[in-house]
C-alpha cells in the first residue's frame, strides 16, 4: 500500500511538472530584422537560441571582420545549421536593426519629438472645447 501511494504521488508530481513547464513555443514572437554587423549584445540576445555567450562570440568575430553575408554567421562557434535556420528570417547585413518582440512598440530615437507633439495636440483640443 505504501509503495502504491508513493507511486501515485510521484506520478502526480511528474504530471504537474509537465503541465506547468513552459513550452518552447511560448517564446516571444519576434518582428523585424537584426543587422549582424551593427547589433549590440542585447539585440543579439533577443534572437532565438542566442544567449549572452553566443552574442559575445558574434561581437568578437565582428571585431576582426564584418559579415559579408548572413551565412557567415555559421563561422561563429556555437551557431550550427539548426540554430542558423531559426535565426535566418531575422538576419540582415544591411540597414538598421528593427528586431523586437511582436506587439512591442517600435523603438524611438532620443531626438523623436512626437511625444511633445501629442501633448501639444491634447492641450490644443482641451483649449478648443
Q: The pTM is what?
A: 0.59
Q: Which residues contact 33 (CB under 8 A, 6 or more apart)?
A: 90, 91, 92, 95, 97, 98, 99
| pLDDT at site 5 | 76
**Does residue 81 sit within a domain?**
yes
Q: Write out the residue range of the structural domain in which residue 96 sits.
A: 27-100
**Does residue 79 sit within a domain?**
yes
**Does residue 108 sit within a domain?**
no
| pLDDT at site 75 | 95
**Does residue 2 sit within a domain?**
no
Q: How many domains does the chain have?
A: 1
| pLDDT at site 17 | 57
Q: Which residues of the chain have pLDDT under 70?
A: 9-28, 104-129
Report DSSP state, residue 73.
G
**Does residue 117 sit within a domain?**
no
Counting Cα atoms < 13 Å in the Cβ hemisphere of 75 gives 14
Where would I find the beta strands (DSSP E) of the chain? 30-31, 34-35, 91-92, 100-101
| pLDDT at site 27 | 57
All 3 cell numbers of residue 26? 511560448
The CATH number given to whatever domain includes residue 53 is: 1.10.150.320
**Does residue 17 sit within a domain?**
no
| pLDDT at site 6 | 73
**Does residue 6 sit within a domain?**
no
Of the chain, the end-to-end C-alpha distance in Å amounts to 79
**Does residue 49 sit within a domain?**
yes
Amino acid at each position: 500500500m505504501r509503495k502504491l501511494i508513493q507511486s501515485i504521488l510521484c506520478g502526480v508530481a511528474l504530471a504537474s511538472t509537465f503541465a506547468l513547464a513552459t513550452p518552447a513555443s511560448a517564446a516571444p514572437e519576434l518582428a523585424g530584422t537584426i543587422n549582424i554587423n551593427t547589433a549590440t549584445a542585447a539585440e543579439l540576445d533577443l534572437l532565438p537560441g542566442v544567449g549572452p555567450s553566443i552574442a559575445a562570440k558574434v561581437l568578437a568575430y565582428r571585431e576582426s571582420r564584418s559579415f559579408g553575408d548572413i551565412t557567415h554567421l555559421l563561422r561563429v562557434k556555437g551557431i550550427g545549421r539548426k540554430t542558423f535556420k531559426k535565426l535566418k528570417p531575422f538576419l540582415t547585413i544591411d540597414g538598421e536593426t528593427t528586431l523586437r518582440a511582436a506587439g512591442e512598440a517600435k523603438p524611438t530615437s532620443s531626438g523623436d519629438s512626437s511625444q511633445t507633439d501629442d501633448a501639444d495636440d491634447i492641450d490644443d483640443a482641451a483649449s478648443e472645447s
